[in-house]
Amino acid sequence: MKTVNIHEAKAHLSKLVEEASKGEAFIIAKAGKPVVKVTALNAPTGAQIRRLGFMLGQISVPDDFDRMARRRSSESSAVVHETAAGHTSSPLGCR
């Protein structure tokens, strides 16, 4: 979030208000210390802001959802590449 001093806020108030109305809140500071926060009237506040867990009980994830990822991981670690000189190396550069 951007911070502007009072002098700058006075000089560019129209532009700053336009940005705030589009959701880009800003802080006005006096002598380098934050004084007020300017946000759009329709900006969500406090309890209106959605947090992690807001869909608790509304969705379910299968117990084996990551089985394919584990299988691919183990397969890729077993892959060995042969170079033109006949040397072998793994995808991580280990021999």
Q: How far is CA 61 from CA 13, 27, 64, 67, 68, in A?
A: 49, 41, 8, 12, 14
Q: What is the rounded CA–CA span in Å between residue 73 and residue 91?
A: 12
Q: What is the rounded CA–CA span in Å between residue 29 and residue 37?
A: 9
Examine residue 10 and state whether it is found in any structural domain, yes or no. yes
* Band (1; pLDDT cuts 50, 70, 90): confident
Examine residue 45 and state whether it is found in any structural domain, yes or no. no
Bridge-based pairing of strands 2-5 and 26-30 is: parallel
Mean local confidence (pLDDT), 37-62: 76
Check pLDDT > 70 for residue 87: no
What is this structure's pTM? 0.47
Examine residue 53 and state whether it is found in any structural domain, yes or no. no
Query: Domain range for residue 93?
Result: 65-95
- What region does 39 belong to: left with phi over 0, alpha with psi -120 to 50, or beta? beta
